[in-house]
Amino acid sequence: MKKWGFLICIILIGYTLTQSPAALSGNKEMPIVILDTDEKYAGYREVASQDTKQRIHKGNLVLVNSEHPIHQEGVRSDIVHVADEEDLLRGYGLLDHRLMLSREVAERFQEMVEAAAEDDVRYFLMSSGYRDFEKQDELYRQKGSDYALPAGYSEHNLGLSLDVGSSLASMSEAPEGAWLEKNAWRYGFILRYPKDKVKVTGIQYEPWHFRYVGMPHSAVMAKNHMVLEEYLEMLKEKKDVTVDLDGETYHIHYYHVLKDTKIYLPEKDSYDISGDNMEGVIVTVKKR
């Protein structure tokens, strides 16, 4: 396991996206527009910063690596035994019937593999999902650092990540691996450890390891060829960005949570809040 290094390579352009998700498979970068500072908080309400600090370590965008371990509040509260949920078992096989995962993530995964089946890609296996700290520690002691991470430093301890296989071949060669690498972003997933980002993530290429971050974040990362480290750094730098995607407009606000930081939430629009597991909180607003 290589030590974690940090490389930032962000390519952004400043116009609004009007293409559909199907058109996003081209070579153009995902457009990002900086919000007008004078207008961005119209229709928002201020939230006490002490309430927001509790959110730094939980949410779909929390960064977990050798420098940023999971806090207990970051573990998903909707963890289920996938084999016990009949409505979640369509379109793929389970290698371990004890496997656990966030129910929401399992639902999104099932939606994704059912879409793949429409492209005649249908031999998916779910091989690993959520592990508690005790299981992660056992795995680390048995397999060592070349195979596993210490307890609390693995994304599998969140419930947001899963390892995906194919019954045809290894994921680096199977149609299932190729399909996911191209299309997973459409369902809120990212390939967490790409081949050409080892210096950024500190983890060797893992074509089987997918992480749920949700939309529009997965789309922005895919189009700008970012991993989570780079995406969070971009949000921290830009503070406020807008993404127009398939007729939907998302406003993404980054807050560096300090003692007197003002946080704003929309009065009417739907929104999601996630910490970055470092020092910030991201509010993603879907405009009506």
pLDDT digits (tens, 9 = 90+) for 99-126: 999 999 999 999 999 999 999 999 999 9
pLDDT band for position 163 (50/70/90)? Answer: very high
Q: Which CATH architecture has domain 21-286?
A: 2-Layer Sandwich (3.30)
| Ranges 85-94, 107-116, 135-144, 177-186: which has the least confidence | 135-144
pLDDT of residue 7 exceeding 50: no
Alpha-carbon torsion angle 270, 275, 280, 283, nearest 10: -10
Cα–Cα dist 249/265, whole Å: 16
pLDDT tens-digit series, residues 252-281: 999 998 766 788 899 999 999 999 999 999
Indicate which residues carry an active-site annotation.
Answer: 206
Q: pTM for this structure?
A: 0.86
CB atoms within 10 A of CB 150: 16
Domain parsing of the chain, residue ranges: 21-286
pLDDT of residue 133 exceeding 70: yes
